[in-house]
Amino acid sequence: MTRLAIAAACFVAGCQPAASKATAPPSNLTSRDDEAGLMRLYTELQDDVLASYDRDEPPEVDSGMLDPRVGTARLGVGPGDVYITGALARAPSRWPLEVDRLTRTEVRSKHLEIQIAADQSAAWMSDELSWRLELCGRAVAIPLRITGLYAHDGDRWILVFEHLSYGAPAAPAEDLDPAPIKTAAVSADLETQLAAILDRGLLHLPRDPSVVSQDRSALVLGAGAADEWHGPDVLDAVVPPGKLEDRRVGTVGRAPREPTVAYWVGNYSAELPARGAEAARVQRLRATFVFEKRPFAIKPEHQPDALACARGGRAARDVECRWILVQTQLSRPISDDELTRQVFGTALLSARPVRLDCAESTARTAAQRR
């Protein structure tokens, strides 16, 4: 059953999504104190993420961990939902659709996963969300997906970017371009390096596995609801070839010369092939990527230290530090009109704010029960 079908079924039956179960971080540390420290960081970020779903407030963006020329970003479901640094501080609700104050809403986390960088300077996350609205005495559960990157700044986690989307396949009837993103980068050299990694490891075939993580931290989310690949399967991800467009390219860390986590937030022109009567065309998608600098032994007899790239100096003498792609999300913006049509069908009276014909929805329920 597709997620769209699940959403419709949940509207009729009021089904309950599964409770969130976060995945614990791997533990390959040398002492119990190290393990306890890592688990503390993990729990703190997990709590912050889950609490942010309920608060739905603009995040704190002031941090010395980020280059202010690039800063933070939030990408939402709608084509105009792009907020960068200063605009992010005044951003409206992250959730799609406009509902009146009498409509009860709730967000449930279904599968939160958090990965903490080896040097603990940053962490990236992904989650499947069930955004629930109570309408006509029933609940509709709209499935959403979210990824994000956080910086660990002292005793707090700071949002670097967030990417929220609805799994929507290509739709030529409503081909909405995402809002432009003003290009900025901490350096032209880093931008060139990361663009080459994306080109070799994700956007064109054959893929180069040496620049893509294939461990438990690896994730590729495509624009469609079923487009999701984990671990070694990321090398088989179905990603249309295309061109990277406007972008913001930054790093996380207090030592800008030797960062170990980088990010890319931008737009992507995907080249969609012809399908049946539909001609080949270009569709612009939103794109976010997370990279981690990881050590690889120069000589086979050397065992690379996971923190060698962060420590630098002698620790990095016997390793090669490479940028590795660890997380990807591509999404197609969807308007409130299209989203409500997909979810509510003929019961929809108004998309802004959402209002339904309760008699129609009741008839649909009775027909389905028969």
pLDDT for the residue numbered 169: 61
C-alpha 72/C-alpha 331 separation (Å) is: 19
Start-to-end Cα distance in the chain: 20
- So where are the chain's domains? 3-369
- Is the confidence at residue 13, as pLDDT, over 70? no
pLDDT digits (tens, 9 = 90+) for 250-265: 999 876 568 899 999 9
pLDDT for the residue numbered 234: 97
**What average pLDDT does range 336-342 have in this prediction?**
85
- What confidence category does residue 360 fall into, taking pLDDT thresholds of 50, 70 and 90? low
Mean pLDDT of the chain: 84
Encoded amino acid at 213, one letter: S
C-alpha 342/C-alpha 135 separation (Å) is: 16
- Is the confidence at residue 3, as pLDDT, over 50? no
pLDDT digits (tens, 9 = 90+) for 82-92: 999 888 888 88
23 or 243, which is more confident:
243
pLDDT for the residue numbered 77: 94
- Is the confidence at residue 14, as pLDDT, over 70? no
Beta bridge partners of 320: 296
- What confidence category does residue 12 fall into, taking pLDDT thresholds of 50, 70 and 90? very low
pLDDT for the residue numbered 6: 39
**What average pLDDT does range 199-204 have in this prediction?**
96
Left (φ > 0), alpha (ψ -120 to 50) or beta: where does 56 sit?
left
pLDDT for the residue numbered 34: 81
The percent of residues in the chain predicted with pLDDT above 90, rounded, is 51
SS (H, E, C) the chain: CCHHHHHHHHHHHCCCCCCCCCECCCCCCCCHHHHHHHHHHHHHHHHHHHHHHHHCCCCCCCCCCECCCCCCEEECCCCCCEEECCCHHHCCCCCCCCCCCCCCEEEEECCCEEEECCCCCEEEEEEEEEEEEEECCEEEEEEEEEEEEEEEECCEEEEEEEEEECCCCCCHHHCCCCCCCCCEECCHHHHHHHHHHHHHHHHCCCCCHHHECCCCCCEEECCCCCCEEEHHHHHHCCCCCEEEEEEEEEEECCCCCCCCEEEEEEEEEEEECCECCECCEEEEEEEEEEEEEEEEECCCCCCCCCCHHHHCHHHHCCEEEEEEEEEEEEECCCCHHHHHHHHHHHHEEEECCEEECHHHHHHHHHHHHC
pTM value is 0.87
3-369 to CATH, choices 3.10.450.50, 3.90.120.10, 3.40.50.300, 3.40.250.10: 3.10.450.50
Tokens of 137: 């005495």
